[in-house]
Structure 1
Amino acid sequence: MVALIQGGVPEPGGIWTELGAGSGNFTVALAQLLGPGAEITAVDRDARAIDRQRDLAQQQPFGVAIHPVEADFTRPLRLPPLDGLLVANALHFIRDQPALLAQIATYLRPAGRLLVVEYELQAPLRYVPYPVPFARLAELAPMAGFGAPQLVGTRRSPSTGITLYAAAAPRSG
């Protein structure tokens, strides 16, 4: 996970949020890249996932403070101004992706960045109902208040064999 997203985390430290954080696979990878003193708010609507995030928070991996929040990230969240926001394998569950991306832009500081991990998939699958291949993200991001996304990593999903990509886009303006 670290190798996939490391190109989207330009410097250690800062205040980040992960939307759709699940049980913490990408949370730990992000913590490793951000290092001591950083903060990550891990948001997920699944109570069991947040319980696992609470266990993770007690360990403070890599010296990072993790703040688990049980919430529906499609609704407005109370967050501090963010240096970065990670959405890993969650955007494909959202029907109104333009609205969510525009909402995400409001959470970021002017120099903040969006980091997306998604399947490079054109047609929907049961577990990827609204695919966001890189070309689609490249269309959506500028309309939502971001600069052009840059591809920062790819890898095959060990569970599906489908290519995953990571892309980073700066908040524009």
Structure 2
Amino acid sequence: MEIKEAIALIHAEGLQAGTWADLGCGEGLFSVALAHLLPPGSTILAIDQQPVKPLPYSIPAGISVMRQQADFSLTNFQLPALQGIVMANSLHYITDKPNLIKRLAQSLTDDGTFIIVEYETTQANPWVPYPITLQALTELFREAGFTNTIKLGERNSVYRSGKMYAARISR
């Protein structure tokens, strides 16, 4: 996926300035896409289990991206107060999604936002071991106290049949 496509997929109006986390950021594609959507003065914590590498994309002026190697799935993983959390193709690696979401939600401000990118499928495979459809995602977050789910976009998957979706979730 190209950076312009990632920006278009997660494009959301009115994202608030502040500190955001991109959990499971990989090479940083969605960290940079988010950087193009946030107001100047924002910081993005780009967190991944793999060793930190420099971002292969340019960052807009006024946005700071800090890379960190860590495993967000561990119960002792700590985050600072956040305005938002992006999880692009990382939630499908988590078996206990309800506990993870409840734990991560504790780091969000009252008006905080999740942006989730996932596959619209129930078929598991080696790359998407625990898939979650948009309907199941909406219910998962509703049970954690998040009542607003907005589908931001969708696109065909390059690697598998079907679609990817992006959703913005808030209280």
Task: Return the TM-score normalized by structure 2.
Answer: 0.88
2:66 is the counterpart of 1:62 = no
Unaligned runs of 5+ residues in structure 1 are none
RMSD value, Cα: 1.8
Matches within 5 A, 1:35-114: 35-47=39-51, 50-51=52-53, 55-56=54-55, 61-63=59-61, 64-75=63-74, 76-114=76-114
Cα displacement string for residues 71-111 of structure 1 (whole angstroms, at most 9, x for unaligned residues)? 11012433221111100000000000111111111110000
CA distance in 2, matches of 1:139, 1:85: 18
CA distance in 2, matches of 1:119, 1:11: 23
Report how far residue 146 of structure 1 moved.
1.6
Q: Match of 1:155, as an amino acid?
A: R
Task: Return the TM-score normalized by structure 1.
Answer: 0.87
2:33 is the counterpart of 1:34 = no
CA distance in 2, matches of 1:12, 1:104: 18
CA distance in 2, matches of 1:11, 1:18: 14
Unaligned runs of 5+ residues in structure 2 are 1-5
Of 13, 27, 38, 1:23 maps to: 27
CA distance in 1, matches of 2:59, 2:16: 14
2:146 is the counterpart of 1:142 = no
On the 8 A contact 2:32/2:58 being kept in 1, the answer is: no
In structure 2, relative to structure 1, the CA distance for the partners of 1:130 and 1:46 (3 Å cut) is: same
Q: Match of 1:141, as an amino acid?
A: F
The runs of at least 4 aligned residues of structure 1 exceeding 6 Å deviation read: none
Report how far residue 158 of structure 1 moved.
2.6
Report how far residue 156 of structure 1 moved.
1.1
CA distance in 2, matches of 1:159, 1:124: 13
Identity of paired residues, percent?
A: 37
- DSSP-derived class of the 1:141 partner: helix
Report how far residue 148 of structure 1 moved.
3.3
